[in-house]
Amino acid sequence: MNLRKITVTMLVALMTSQLSIAQKTTTVELKPSEEAPTISKHIYGHFAEHLGRCIYGGFYVGEDSDIPNTNGVRNDIIVALKDLKIPNLRWPGGCFADTYHWKDGIGPKEDRPTIVNRWWGGVTEDNSFGTHDFLNLCEVLETEPYLAGNVGSGTVQELIDWVQYTNHDGKSPMSDLRKKNGREKPWNVKYWGIGNEAWGCGGNMTPEYYSDEYRKYATFLSGWSNESGIFRIASGASSSDYKWTEVLMKNIKHNLLEGMALHHYSVIDWNNKSSSTGFEEEHYFKTMTEALKMEELIEKHTAIMDKYDPENKIALVVDEWGGWYDTDKGPNGTPLFQQNTMRDAMIAGVTLNIFNNRADRVKMANLAQTVNVLQAVILTDAETNKMLLTPTYHVMKMYNVHQDATLIPVEFESPKYEFNGESLPAVSISASKKEGKTHISLTNIDAEKENTIELDVTNLGIKNASGLILKSDKLQDHNTFDNPEKITPSEFKDFKLKKGKLSLTLPPLSVVVLEAK
Ligand code: AHR
């Protein structure tokens, strides 16, 4: 036996196997374009429903609480949401919206009637958080309110009264009532949803029937030519219900319609959604498959909208998105309370990149939901009242640099994230430019492998760069009330800028945002 020969053969084999383990570099072209759209800041919107501990016991603890608050809303939540630069906040639902009668929530709090929240646990609410409380909060947060009107169990009169109450500057029965309740100037609410999930909890309507209802509500909401500039949003499709979008686009007159909604949750099985923290990679892979489906949904709903609205006047509004798992048991386990792990950070990273890249049609979106419900950005502890920021919060904050920036189209073929014989694109990227700064956000969803990327920035005149990274070793890693900073962004230095090429390696399960100028 020739030992020398064996050694050389073994060496060659070793080198070859090492080469195949090392990731190939993925080349990404950033192509600034004159036609590229602005990424509307409203893509970074949020959603607060009367559900579980989102409003009561979440945002709102009441004026008499020991927890420092402003008009009953926790100060720590206000600070966190201001830092996040949330552009709009949708309220009061969700399914709750089609049961909500806004006049129950105005006037002296002790006189407000109680109601039963029939969709979410049948709990009795005292209406202490109502229209003034919400709209004043939006002013404090410097965010635009997005009110969801009650079509399912309300009336046209009730909704136009609400618009009068919030927006009328002159004398009218509703503006007089507003003034009597302590608010002189109108709030001028621009965004109005006409019902919610009309195909389901909003009334189980057919798209044809809802289109007619919508036409009636939209007509009275805004007058002859919508001179007040109200932005009317139709209750949109659930995920891939393309027929819903088609019928609405065909049947609703376009001078009555500014936005078409779409809801899509990353849920793996409605009957077995799996635990928010006790899940396996198999569940993660399925969740990411659902999250990445957003791209196809936007493409197909947009194709229908393009057919009826070739001038692209009507916005696609994804006003509910996020991960949905089984409700956590234990002290925090009120309806739809779930922890938030690196899986959620990955959902946020890829979804926001999809929205940015489709900013031509997607003009608004709302993560479900803000506090203590579904893919929340903030959790509060029911027993200790501690509060924490979730990994999703950090991703939303890192990405907010794209708000109102010009999209830079990105072209590349993603390396694969392979699991059990199936694969997904591992890397997602979006980029934008504003005030001389370029921002590039990258997410690597691969649970095991790093990915090496070379960004061709030749056309962007970049001289230096800096970055932030959010990462953690395990998919299930999350922040807890005892360790609220386990997952927080840190400085990212692992990149090189040389001759118009920005090269970096993305660790597994990581989100990176680079700023370059
Ligand atoms: O976000 C939770 C619920 O999901 C909303 O109330 C409803 O619109 C959707 O089905």
Ligand 1 neighbourhood includes 196 CB (under 6 angstroms): yes
The enclosing H or E element of 454 equals: strand 451-456
Closest atom of ligand 1 relative to the 49 alpha carbon? 6
Whole-number pLDDT of residue 17:
44
Looking at residue 284, its pLDDT comes to 98
- Pairing assessment for the beta strands 427-434 and 69-70 based on DSSP bridges: unpaired
Phi and psi torsions of 418, nearest 5°: -105, 135
What's the CA-to-centroid distance between 121 and ligand 1, angstroms? Answer: 13
Give every residue of the chain whose pLDDT is below 50, as ranges: 1-6, 8-9, 11-22
Mutate to test the pocket of ligand 1, among 49, 117, 264, 338 (most ligand atoms within 8 A of CB): 49
Asked whether 197 lines ligand 1 (CB < 6 A), one says yes
Q: Tell me which of 273, 320, 324, 374 to substitute to probe ligand 1's pocket, judged by most ligand atoms within 8 Å of the beta carbon.
A: 320
Query: Active site includes 197?
Result: yes
Ligand 1, atom 6: nearest CA belongs to which residue? 94
One-letter amino acid of 408: I
CA distance 195 to 433: 36
Looking at residue 23, its pLDDT comes to 59
Residue nearest to atom 3 of ligand 1 (CA): 94
**Helices and strands (DSSP H and E) totals, the chain:** 10, 27
Q: Compute, in angstroms, the gap from residue 197 CA to the centroid of ligand 1.
A: 8
Is the minimum distance from the CB of 368 to ligand 1 under 6 angstroms? yes
Q: For 34-44, how does the pLDDT look when each residue is reduced to its tens digit (9 = 90+)? A: 999 999 999 99
Tell me the CA–centroid distance for residue 47 and ligand 1, in Å: 10
Cβ partners under 8 Å of residue 445, min gap 6 = 288, 346, 349, 350, 417, 424, 426, 427, 428, 509
Instruction: Give bridge partners of residue 440 from the DSSP assignment.
Output: 431, 514
Asked if 366 and 46 touch (Cβ cutoff 8 Å), the reply is yes
What are the phi and psi torsion angles at 119 (to 5°)? -80, -30
Q: What ligand 1 atom has the least distance to the C-alpha of 97?
A: 6
Q: How far is the CA of 191 from the centre of ligand 1 (A)?
A: 18
Q: Cα dist. 416→26, 41, 170, 356, 429 in Å? A: 11, 30, 60, 22, 14
Q: How far apart are CA 67 and CA 70, in angstroms?
A: 10
For residue 488, what are the CA distances in angstroms to 306, 356, 403, 470? 40, 23, 21, 6
What's the pTM value of the predicted model, to 2 decimals?
0.95
Angle, alpha carbons 456-350-343 (nearest 5°): 130
Would you call 34 helix, strand, or coil by DSSP?
coil
pLDDT at 151: 98
Question: Does the C-beta of 222 come closer than 6 Å to ligand 1?
Answer: no
Q: Which atom of ligand 1 is nearest to the CA of 196?
A: 8
Q: For ligand 1, what atom is nearest to the CA of residue 320?
A: 1
Q: 409 and 27 in contact (C-beta within 8 Å)?
A: no
| Catalytic-residue membership of 320 | yes
Find all residues with CB under 8 Å of 298, minimum gap 6, and list them: 262, 316, 318, 354, 355, 358, 361, 362
Mutate which of 201, 321, 366 for ligand 1? The one with the most ligand atoms within 8 Å of its CB, which is 201
Distance CA 507, CA 443 (A): 9
The tens digit of pLDDT for each residue in 431-457 reads 999 999 999 999 999 999 999 999 999
Measured in residues, the chain has a length of 517
Q: Is the CB of 98 under 6 A from ligand 1?
A: no
Q: Which of 49, 125, 197, 213 is catalytic?
A: 197
Check residue 4 and give its pLDDT: 45
Atom 7 (ligand 1) nearest CA: 94
Tell whether ligand 1 has an atom less than 6 A from the beta carbon of residue 95.
Answer: yes
